[in-house]
Amino acid sequence: MAKRLLAFSDRTAVAGVGWTEFSKDSRVSTLTLACRAILAALADAGIRPEEVDGLATHRVGDSVAPGVVGPALGLPSPSWYLDQFGGGSVSHSVVGQAALAVAAGLAETVVVYRAINARSEFRMGQAANPSPEAQYLQPAGLVAPVQHFALYTRAHMLKYGTKAEQLGQIAVRQRDHATRNPRALMREPITLDDYLASRWISEPLRLLDCCLETDGACALVVTTAERARSLRRTPVLISAAAWGGGDSFLAPGEPTVSAAALLAPRLYGMAGLGPGEVDVAMLYDCFTFSVLVQLEDYGFCAKGEGGPYAASGEGPPVNTHGGFLSEGYVHGINHVAEAVTQLRGEAGPRQVEGAEVALSTAQPGYILPATSALILRRG
């Protein structure tokens, strides 16, 4: 198994990225958003729509399927497609599965997209929840993701002494990154005092601990590494892709440890490197706590040290686009797009000098006991 996994590394690449405008009211359908992002990504790569033979997305009853997007763009019948049910936890597995399809020869050019009117149409938490846990959680008033994450955050605070100010430094630093990102919805700098003054959403999480509700779409073009080298942009190789499960509310487990802790060894093993070799990290930031726990579970610091480590600003730059907290929430795919932008050296004033290796992650496995992640490398 290990040899087969290692043979997958660096055989595929992201050759193009595309975004729509991020807003609070797109005034268009999710289908329109998806098509705009896909066409932008294809133009970025220098690929014609008729060359696309694969489409992949994930959704929770809030977007549009490949079977609708393909005809809308006039694409020929795809030889491979993926329409995966799931939220942010599966976002990076969709990219990994597209890479597997390309590596296996099932398709040559796959576009991965996520389109969502998450403010004006399908607000998060209103989509269907198929988890058997819902029947036990909802009677207790645990409906919204922020309420779930509040419980995990409090557990970390009680066990390790994690402080609100440490979470606040994550929000402040990511907003600083967003000030240099023209796509970001929130570009006004904030201070730690601003963070502490923001209203409670679900204690101990405040407004500025929470990601933005965003209308928008993002797309990636995945093709063979060989073909990517002949296209318009610097290729970004997919060195590792991993996904898997962990504990849920109904399963016994340690609430301060996410499924990312189980995933990380496989991910790093496939790429043949460790956390010390990561130059830039896009850590799923639905809430500030998800960044903190992933700093621990992906090995940048020891368990329980995430608070002081996050506050110190040590380690690789995190969420250089501002993340979901400040750029916008496109359910995982805009993290991958920023990683690609950084590795291509095209991030402008927020560029991390000499960035060669990026880690990009999905929701770390809370609520839904699954997660996924990628390691990307400049080609």
pLDDT tens sequence across 53-70: 999 999 988 889 999 999
d(CA 352, CA 345): 8
Contacts 24+ apart (CB under 8 A), 152-156: 152/255, 152/256, 152/289, 152/293, 152/366, 153/204, 153/205, 153/287, 153/289, 154/203, 154/204, 155/255, 155/256, 156/255, 156/256, 156/289, 156/292, 156/293, 156/306, 156/307
In a domain, 133, yes or no: no
**Which of 123-127, 164-168, 219-223 shows the lowest mean pLDDT across its residues?**
123-127
3 has pLDDT over 70: no
Please name which of 104, 334, 97 lies closest in space to residue 211, comparing C-alpha atoms.
334
CATH number of the domain enclosing 368: 3.40.47.10
Instruction: Supply the range of the domain harboring residue 339.
Output: 2-123+211-378
In a domain, 294, yes or no: yes
In a domain, 17, yes or no: yes
In a domain, 249, yes or no: yes
What was the pLDDT predicted at 4?
Answer: 46
Answer yes or no: are the C-beta atoms of 301 and 186 closer than 8 Å: no
Question: Considering the entire predicted model, what is its pTM?
Answer: 0.95
Structural domain count, the chain: 1
Condensed to tens digits (0 to 9), the pLDDT of residues 151-160 reads: 999 999 999 9
Q: Which 3 state secondary structure label does DSSP give 354?
A: coil
User: Mind telling me the catalytic residues?
Assistant: 284, 329
132 has pLDDT over 50: yes
In a domain, 25, yes or no: yes
Condensed to tens digits (0 to 9), the pLDDT of residues 233-273 reads: 999 999 999 999 876 655 667 899 999 999 999 999 999 99
In a domain, 76, yes or no: yes
In a domain, 217, yes or no: yes
Q: Which 3 state secondary structure label does DSSP give 12?
A: strand
Condensed to tens digits (0 to 9), the pLDDT of residues 335-372 reads: 999 999 999 999 999 999 999 999 999 999 988 788 99
What was the pLDDT predicted at 250?
Answer: 59
In a domain, 269, yes or no: yes
